[in-house]
Amino acid sequence: MRGIPAQRIEQRIQASSTHSRPLPSGGLFPIYFKALHSIGAVEMLAHRMAWSMVFLLIVMTARRQWKWLGPVLRDRRLLARFAASAVLLSANWGIYIWAVNDGRIVEASLGYFINPLVNVLFGMAFLHERLRPVQWIAVTIAALGVLWLTWVNGAPPWISLALALTFGGYGLLRKTASLGALEGLTLETMLLCPVALLYLFFLSSHGGSGFAQASPGVKLLLAAAGPVTAVPLLLFAAGARRIPLSMLGLIQYVTPTLQLLIGVMIYQEFFGHNQLIGYGAI
């Protein structure tokens, strides 16, 4: 990108991954969002965007790291790319929040089991990455697990596929982005925040704000959505630029495994023999 040397960008990526500490990871998000069940999914999404912006503004100001913004705002192609990644990110957040609070944690976890397969396919299709024979075998077995679950359910798992495709597309765009992890996430959040604030203002002016009627504990949890959201995404964006997308996909099975265990063992969601076969293959 014009105005920002590649070496400085890489240094910023390294700084983000070195100094960021992983707070609650994506695998623990079901517990977090279940604690906020009194807030509507769309309102929760808007708060997540708004508080993420507050957190990132504090971080960027503390680091005095705003010089990149001027050149970026003059680059229409870059803004369009990050607008696309922001849309995919917000869609992924919204679908996941709704699924968790609708008692579909297990189905949502399947989306993140499928996501590595999407990453592998995107890596091959768009980045010309190649798999070794053993990796092909692993991917084929996992794909058969997805097809099995589709067959026994009688229909494609639409929630799971939507989560996989939106986050896979987000990972692809961040993999090829010319901004570092911190700058990129800040730009995405800046693009999303005005819409979120308008929606929250609309709710408040029409007496429909769940935040206004929530307990102090719930309000605190909503405010914590900033660091809880931003830190894992910063680490993901930094990692996506450092390793092959296909490898990134294969190590991403930790998060859905934790989500699956939480859904079954804590929230008692259904998980029968057919699901065991499909998830076992994956």
Cα–Cα distances (Å) from 124 to 137, 178, 201, in that order, read 15, 20, 44
Q: Please give the Cα distance from 47 to 44 (Å, whole number).
A: 5
State residue 231's pLDDT score.
83
Is 50 exceeded by the pLDDT of residue 5?
no
Q: Measured between alpha carbons, how far is 234 from 186 in angstroms, rounded to an integer?
A: 10
Residue 237: per-residue pLDDT: 66
Q: What percent of the chain has pLDDT over 90?
A: 48
- Residue 121 reports pLDDT greater than 70: yes
pLDDT at 179 over 80: yes
pTM: 0.81
Query: Of 201 and 116, which is predicted with more confidence?
Result: 201
- pLDDT category at 117 given cuts 50, 70, 90 is confident
- Give the whole-angstrom CA distance, residue 59 versus residue 52: 11
- In this structure, of 68-72, 93-97, 119-123, the range with the lowest mean pLDDT score is 119-123
- Domain residue ranges in the chain: 6-281
Rounded to an integer, the average pLDDT of 152-175 is 88
Residues 233-253: tens digit of each pLDDT: 777 767 767 777 667 656 667
Average pLDDT over residues 10-25: 37
| pLDDT band at residue 28 using 50, 70 and 90 as cut-offs | confident
Average pLDDT, integer, range 6-11:
40
pLDDT of residue 49: 93
| Mean predicted lDDT score pLDDT of the chain | 84
Kindly compute the dihedral angle of the four CA atoms of residues 16, 51, 177, 66, in this order, to the nearest 10 degrees: -70
